[in-house]
Amino acid sequence: MCQDSTPSVTSRKTTSSAQRKNLPRHSVSPREPPHAEKAGEGSKSEDRSKSAAAKNVERARSARSGDARPIGVFDSGIGGLTVVSALRKLLPNESICYLGDTARVPYGGKSASTVQRYSLEIASILLEMNAKTIVVACNTASALALPVLEERLPITVTGVIAPGARAAVAATRNGHIGVIGTRATIKSGAYERAIAELNPDVRVVARACPLLVPLIEEGWLESGITDQILMQYLEPLLDDGVDTLVLGCTHYPLLRPAIGRLLGDAVTLVDSAENCAGAVQQLLAREDLVAPSNNTGALDVALTDPPDSFLGVAHDALQLEIGEVQLRSVR
Amino acid sequence: MCQDSTPSVTSRKTTSSAQRKNLPRHSVSPREPPHAEKAGEGSKSEDRSKSAAAKNVERARSARSGDARPIGVFDSGIGGLTVVSALRKLLPNESICYLGDTARVPYGGKSASTVQRYSLEIASILLEMNAKTIVVACNTASALALPVLEERLPITVTGVIAPGARAAVAATRNGHIGVIGTRATIKSGAYERAIAELNPDVRVVARACPLLVPLIEEGWLESGITDQILMQYLEPLLDDGVDTLVLGCTHYPLLRPAIGRLLGDAVTLVDSAENCAGAVQQLLAREDLVAPSNNTGALDVALTDPPDSFLGVAHDALQLEIGEVQLRSVR
């Protein structure tokens, strides 16, 4: 398939991304700032063996000069670009490597073990691309694979569930929150658990909306049919009295205007993409990973299968500057 | 994910399917009847090296006793069960092994090279399961991977495109055929090519309908919203004057009642599942692969990821007897 939107596509399967982008090879070691004087590439065990004092020195250096390595962001497909859009608005100096697993999209109807396997594979590619931290810009992968990623990866991982849950608990006035997402996200119960940990008295009603992603990918963002499908999905939540609705899929912010128009002011919409970007901002500051203030903040987009027309939809709706799209192979 | 429909699920990843089903191990050699007196398992090259005379003797034997090996059927997911349903109605004595690649469903938006890679992997599993012939019950895989499968596999392969094209050319009175399918099927131009080979004077207008599969999988087979979406997709084809419409996706026969109601008698619907089953019937007779008349005609369903609710939708709509669903791992 060829792409029919603005960004161009290039296939590359052998050269490492760090080589392609001329990223500093001495900064591959996770959480190690690019200026660190080290000849080889650090491993997780080497990193762990460092003394706390040495780490503190490095962090102090990093805080002065910043960490120019990119933030690695992944999603099952193109939808996670809503998180990239939110990150670029909030953190314009940060470089971002985005990897969409379009060869195996969508994750939303797949089992936990399959989503975990795919997520680990995609995250390992972002590690090769020298990511300083990883953002799981996919609610399904956040719901099903975050603990495995946190356990296995040598760098910090931020999902979209916890930030969305925190924002929803802060927003609700009547203690009754609605959540919409893919079948897998809703079935996982991840939002219910995250909200209950913050406030066990809040009541959550969740609903899978499997038609919304294909509607968005078809580009029917303002269609009367989309409004009808939205009402079919949302009416039971409204009847149930929710005053806050979590858009629990990174595609859904593209329907925010339509959903807002249907629900009016009575319901607060919680955009998991925006809240995730806020969580990443806090993490970078906390971990001394903030980019130098003179960093240009490049965006590199890679996919595991050539993009279809939805990249054009996202490109237009999000007004992202997407350059050449790289292709990365998966198994 | 657990399944919420009738069939039960069992995971198995190591035992070979032939062992599980007690299929005759001496019949693994492609196109070789199960009663053939041969100690080892034949390879493609061994098969090719046989003299034409020896093959004729085998075929004569086969015609007497029949070939009890199963027909291997695969699809990207559950939709190909419409082909299984048509095969069971037409060929009740034939055993069928169905393999749905639900871990990577859908194929419909993916590139040709990815669909070819997945199709070869899935077909090789069906070979391990001792299939005597393979049916590609997926329009996308038929459109993009059939030549590769025919080249690489040691047994015959039947797709859904050519039988559908033949039926459409036979049905049209005004020489104007419409085709609906997934993005990848329509983009491939496979139906246009197949129809042009049969009759270059026939005019074909094709349209991708990416929302229909998720609508069907949601079970909204008789919803007013489905009717509206169908009209949005079909009206341009009607305005263009088609008198025959090919349902170019194995999911679509589940919408046949809704489409028939909307289009009335003016348009002949061509069901690629039914026509594919007819082509398989002819192939089995031609290649001496027909099952013995006393064969029980078992149906084994295997998936690469646990089924979701759509298996229940298909089960109810097609009234198929699906026993225990096996799980097969893919990369």
Q: Is B188 in contact with B147 (CB distance < 8 Å)?
A: no
* pLDDT given for residue B330 in this prediction: 84
The catalytic position among A97, A138, A209, A276 is A138
Query: Tell me, what's the pLDDT at B87?
Result: 97
B25 within a domain of the structure (yes/no):
no
Give the model's pLDDT for residue A257.
94
CB contact under 8 A, B211 and A211: yes
Strand-by-strand arrangement of the A325-327 sheet = A9-11, A325-327, A299-303, A96-100, A71-75, A133-136, A157-158
| Highest mean pLDDT out of A282-291, B106-115, B208-217, B305-314 | A282-291
Between A58 and A143, the higher pLDDT residue:
A143
A249 in active site: yes
Tokens of A26: 């001495």
Q: Is B21 exposed, middle or buried (0-12, 13-18, 19+ CB in 10 A)?
A: middle
Please tell me the distance from the alpha carbon of residue B205 to that of residue B186, in angstroms, as a whole number: 10
Residues 6+ apart with CB under 8 A from B230: B212, B255, B258, B259, B262
Whether A71 has a pLDDT exceeding 80, the answer reads: yes
- Which chain A residues have a beta carbon less than 8 Å from that of B114? 103, 305
How would residue A56 be classed by pLDDT, with cut points 50, 70 and 90? low
Number of domains in chain B: 1
pLDDT tens digits for B233-264?
999 999 999 999 999 999 999 999 999 999 98
Of A2, A97, A209, A249, which is the active-site residue?
A: A249
CA distance A259 to chain B (A): 18
Read off the pLDDT of residues B114-140 as tens digits, 9 standing for 90 and up: 999 999 999 999 999 999 999 999 999
pLDDT, tens digit, 9 for 90 and up, residues B32-77? 333 333 333 333 344 444 455 565 556 545 545 899 999 999 999 8
A41 pLDDT band (50/70/90 cuts)? very low
CA distance B184 to B191: 12
pLDDT of residue B204: 98
The pLDDT-based confidence of A190 (bands split at 50, 70, 90) is very high
- Using a CB-CB cut-off of 8 Å, the residues of chain A touching B112 are 1
Which strands form B176-181's sheet, in the order they lie side by side? Answer: B203-208, B176-181, B244-247, B268-271
Answer yes or no: is A43 within a domain.
no
ipTM exceeding the 0.85 mark: no
Q: What percent of chain B has pLDDT over 70?
A: 81
Binding-site residues on chain B for chain A (CB distance < 8 A): 1, 102-105, 109-112, 114, 183-184, 187, 210-211, 213-215, 217-218, 225, 228-229, 232, 305-306, 308-309, 331
Q: pLDDT tens digit string along A132-149?
A: 999 999 999 999 999 999
Is B257 part of a structural domain of the chain? yes
pLDDT number for residue A52: 55
- Give the distance, in angstroms, between the CA of residue B306 and the centroid of all CA atoms in the same chain: 20
Which among A114, A220, A304, A331 is the top mutation candidate for probing chain B, defined by the most B β-carbons within 10 Å of its own β-carbon? A114
Dist CA A276 CA A162 (whole Å): 8
Q: Compute the average pLDDT of residues B160-173.
A: 97
Is the predicted pLDDT of residue B30 greater than 90, yes or no?
Answer: no
Query: Which of A211, A232, A308 is nearest residue B109 as measured by Cβ atoms?
Result: A308
Q: Which of A213-217, B20-24, B30-34, B87-91 has the highest mean pLDDT?
A: B87-91
Mean pLDDT of chain A: 84
User: Tell me: the pLDDT tens digits for A265-312?
Assistant: 989 999 989 999 999 999 999 999 999 999 989 999 999 998 777 788
Q: Quote the pTM value.
A: 0.78
Mean pLDDT of the B141-146 span: 95
pLDDT at position B206 is: 97
Q: How is A209-251 classified by DSSP, letter by letter?
A: -TTHHHHHHTT-TT-HHHHHHHHHHHHHHHHTT-SEEEE-STT
A115 assigned to some structural domain:
no
Q: What is the pLDDT of residue B70?
A: 97
Query: Which two three-digit tokens encode residue B174?
Result: 């005004």
Contact B195, B126 (CB under 8 A): no
Residue A61 confidence class, pLDDT cut points 50, 70, 90: low
CA-nearest of B28, B22, B79, B76 to B213 is B79
Does B47 reside within a domain?
Answer: no
Which of A53-67, A260-274, B21-35, B151-165 has the lowest average pLDDT?
B21-35
Domain with residue B176: its CATH number is 3.40.50.1860
Q: Phi and psi for B99 in degrees, rounded to 5?
A: -125, 115
Q: Test A110 with B305 for CB contact under 8 angstroms.
A: yes
pLDDT tier, B315 (very low <50, low <70, confident <90, very high otherwise): confident
pLDDT, tens digit, 9 for 90 and up, residues A202-249: 999 999 999 999 999 888 999 999 999 999 999 999 999 999 999 999
In a domain, A181, yes or no: yes
In a domain? residue B199: yes
Q: What is the CA radius of gyration of chain A?
A: 20
Contacts 24+ apart (CB under 8 A), B110-113: B110/A1, B110/A102, B110/A103, B110/A305, B110/B140, B110/B184, B111/A1, B111/A103, B111/A305, B111/A306, B111/B184, B112/A1, B112/B144, B112/B145, B112/B184, B112/B188
Is pLDDT at B160 greater than 60 in this prediction? yes
Mean pLDDT of A169-186: 95
Best mutation target, A1, A11, A305, to test chain B (most B CBs within 10 A)? A1
| Conformation bin of residue A42: beta by default, left when phi > 0, alpha when psi is -120 to 50 | beta
Residue A62: pLDDT band with limits 50, 70, 90: low
What pLDDT score was predicted for residue B58? 60
* Full residue range of the structural domain in which residue B186 is found: 161-273
Active site residue A138: yes
Write down the pLDDT at residue A311.
83
Looking at residue B37, its pLDDT comes to 31
| Domain-located, residue A315 | no
Q: For position A157, what pLDDT does the model report?
A: 98
| Helical (H) or strand (E) element with A302 | strand A299-303
Residue B174 has a pLDDT of 98
Residue that wins the pLDDT comparison between B60 and B21: B60
Which of B210, B218, B309 is opposite residue A218, by nearest beta carbon?
Answer: B210
**Candidate from A21-35, A76-90, A92-106, B299-313 with smallest mean pLDDT:** A21-35
Single out the residue of B88, B40, B158, B48 nearest to residue B319, CA to CA.
B88
Backbone angles phi, psi at B266, to 5 degrees: -70, -25
pLDDT at residue B266 greater than cutoff 80:
yes
At B26, the pLDDT band (50, 70, 90 cuts) reads very low
Contact B183 A111 (CB under 8 A): no
What pLDDT score was predicted for residue B309? 74
Per DSSP, the three-state class of A153 is coil
